[in-house]
Structure 1
Amino acid sequence: MTTSRRSHRGFTLVELLVVIAIIGVLIALLLPAVQQAREAARRMSCSNNSKQLGLALHNYHDTHGCFPVGAIATTNGERPASWLVRIWPFIEQSAAYDQSTFIGNDWSGRGFDKNWRATTVLDIAFLNCPSNPMTKYWTQTASSAMTSDGCPSSIKYQIPDYVGCTGVYNGGPLTNWNGYHGRQDYNGVLTVLDVRNSEPTSFKHITDGTSNTIALGEQSDFIKIMDSSGTVTKKDTYRAWSWHGGGWSGGGGAENDEGYWKGLTSVRAGINYVPSTTNDPFGVGDYWYGRPGFHTIYTSAHPGGAMFTLGDGSVRFISENLNFTTLGRLANRHDGQVVGEY
């Protein structure tokens, strides 16, 4: 009887290294494609968020005959509700809206936020871009009036990523130089009511056409500040909603607006612009006491540009390389200038 001998042969070290190298190359080739697919999904989600806000603005206009105001100046200095609060009923937050007090309330929480049971726990997922690398919350110490009402001493408010456009810097007659507080502009879709502006914006005021006018824009990435040595610092508190009260406070409540509005910006620099801390020509560098100014920059974590909602409710991804003149014309609702391609 013949006995057959079967040879058992394993991998050599060279063969094993070759296989590992091939796997490494395949991973290196596939990883960017996977990351691009994930970013494309996040960008689509951000577009849907912007679309929901555009629909809410239109539903608000259908109900009230105008767009929501970003703030209403008060005589007692109490910080008013933001434009986001005013559209709560149109973004499935009627429960929070119906139980809220608007008269005699400080929505920033620096005074007595009587609505703290709702405002400090409210977290609306679609108000944040999924690509946002920053914190979603503004944390602060509750006022003594709030703690006396049973509020915890440490509270937080949501910081949304979508900012209303109140126009373009110094764009026509609806503008005001407010001394060291800066320049306030009222030529956009969303604005405020104060001693200089007594009428909210409606469709009749958007004479350039709603499809040619920005209503909201994205602020979902760090504001990047460059110092004199060329070093860039990321600032996550330099956004239009980053201050006391987060997304529910409209900003300064006094007649002079305390030098800032919340959740609004007028365009003074391009998308993803990097200002300098020293002698910046656009005046959008470091802000006074870290609070948002009137011209916070539209920024995005999506490569190459940012998401915008137009006055007709449509959503466009606008390139950061867009000519600034065109961006300014998009921000101004009634300059009478042709926008052209963008």
Structure 2
Amino acid sequence: MSTNVRRKNQGFTLIELLVVIAIIAILIALLLPAVQQAREAARRTQCRNNMKQLGLALHNYHDVHKVFPIASYYDFSGLDETPPVWDARLNSQWAWSVMILPYLDQGNLYEVLGVGDRTFEQAANDPEGLKGLRSPLPAFICPSDIGEGLNENRPFPDQPGGPMVVPVGTTFAKSNYMACNGNRGDGDGIFPSGGGMVAIKNVSDGLSNTIMVGERRSREGFWAGIWAGQELSDQGITNVWCLAGLTEYQMNTGKHSLDPSDTNAVDNPKIAFSSEHEGGAFFLLGDGSVHFINDSIQWNDSAADSNDVGIYHLLGSMNDGLVVNEF
């Protein structure tokens, strides 16, 4: 009788315990990919929704100002009445993304930054302004791009002899969404270089055939994005590529699309569009629609004005007059 009682009180043997652990491990191994896929699907949905909100904000801005904002502002005195005038001496450096803050329920932040009254640098030199510039905004962050909300890869550089007194190494809130400058360095997109402002009527290729905003992952180092503005280098020159990208460079790889005979052509993934989504990236088109474009989209290594230019290249231009096939 006592022998039977002892047997009933015995626990698992070592072999039985190992078998149970092995079964649990197998179940976890089977379920984990499904859980990860479900999480990534949710992140992709949120990323798409972020871009839709940006598209709505950009079109609301257009309804008010009759033009889209430009990638980076230089002198926007009289913004409500006339388009800003390009003037490097009055370099405000504010980004397109700052201009749409009031349309993203961030009107208070817009006021704290003093947009329209002072430059990006001046705001960064003000404690409250700097606090605002370091505020991560979910609307500009792809959930798949893990990491800090600050762009640690792009510290505010030194400018010897200049007015800047922001400590060297100061970082700003990141952005994974870049304006499309076009398919060439001279800018032929909805956000062209040179300070031009574009209205819907200027997009002759059609809004549904023209990229407005694309993704860039934050691990692209120095060229990773910020939402606040265009920074000055230590030589005192400006650079817009923390705010914008080109379809001239192949998605995710940065392979250059100039004629191979051009000895100046170099691969540059840092100013290309890219993402942490497997197989491609999300893009906001001019009509407000959002598309996931596969990174295997037709892209030809040919001259920018050639009829052989691939579909991806053509999507960057707003007025090249070439037909864009299905993508």
Provide TM-score, normalisation by structure 1.
0.73
The amino acid that maps onto 2:54 is: L
* Contact 2:247–2:313 (8 Å) recurs in 1: yes
Deviation at 1:119, TM superposition (A): 4.5
Say which of 237, 240, 245 aligns to 1:265: 245
1:320 is aligned to: 295
* Contact 2:95–2:230 (8 Å) recurs in 1: yes
2:175 is aligned to: 160
Counterpart of 2:287 in 1: which secondary structure?
A: coil
1:228-247 matches, cutoff 5 A: 236-239=221-224, 241=225, 246-247=226-227
Superposed CA offset, 1:26-52 (max 9, x none)? 111111111111111111111111111
Identity %: 33
RMSD: 3.3
1:15 is aligned to: 16
**What runs of 5+ residues in structure 2 fail to find an aligned partner?**
75-85, 257-261, 300-309
Instruction: Determine if the alignment matches structure 1 residue 86 to structure 2 residue 99.
Output: yes
| Partners of 1:112 and 1:127 in 2: CA distance | 20
* Contact 2:252–2:273 (8 Å) recurs in 1: yes
Deviation at 1:146, TM superposition (A): 6.8
2:82 is aligned to: none
Instruction: Determine if the alignment matches structure 1 residue 190 to structure 2 residue 191.
Output: yes
The worse-fitting range, judged by mean Cα deviation, of 63-72 and 116-125 is 116-125
1:203 is aligned to: 200
Deviation at 1:142, TM superposition (A): 8.7
| Partners of 2:263 and 2:107 in 1: CA distance | 43
Instruction: Determine if the alignment matches structure 1 residue 63 to structure 2 residue 64.
Output: yes
Deviation at 1:307, TM superposition (A): 0.9
* Contact 1:131–1:220 (8 Å) recurs in 2: no
* Contact 2:140–2:227 (8 Å) recurs in 1: no
| Partners of 1:112 and 1:27 in 2: CA distance | 50
Counterpart of 1:237 in 2: which secondary structure?
A: helix
Deviation at 1:57, TM superposition (A): 0.5
Counterpart of 1:184 in 2: which secondary structure?
A: coil
1:233 is aligned to: none
Which is bigger in relative contact order (C-alpha 8 A, separation at least 6)?
A: 1
Instruction: Determine if the alignment matches structure 1 residue 334 to structure 2 residue 319.
Output: yes
| Partners of 1:302 and 1:25 in 2: CA distance | 27
Counterpart of 2:60 in 1: which secondary structure?
A: helix
The amino acid that maps onto 1:285 is: N
Distance 1:270 1:153, change over 3 A: closer
Superposed CA offset, 1:73-123 (max 9, x none)? 42426342111111111111212323544567431x3x6746652343333
Distance 1:141 1:34, change over 3 A: same
Say which of 93, 102, 111 aligns to 1:98: 111
Question: How many residues of Structure 1 are paired with residues of Structure 2 in the alignment?
Answer: 289
Instruction: Determine if the alignment matches structure 1 residue 117 to structure 2 residue 128.
Output: yes
Say which of 258, 266, 270 aligns to 1:283: 266
Counterpart of 1:35 in 2: which secondary structure?
A: helix
The worse-fitting range, judged by mean Cα deviation, of 61-70 and 120-129 is 120-129
2:78 is aligned to: none
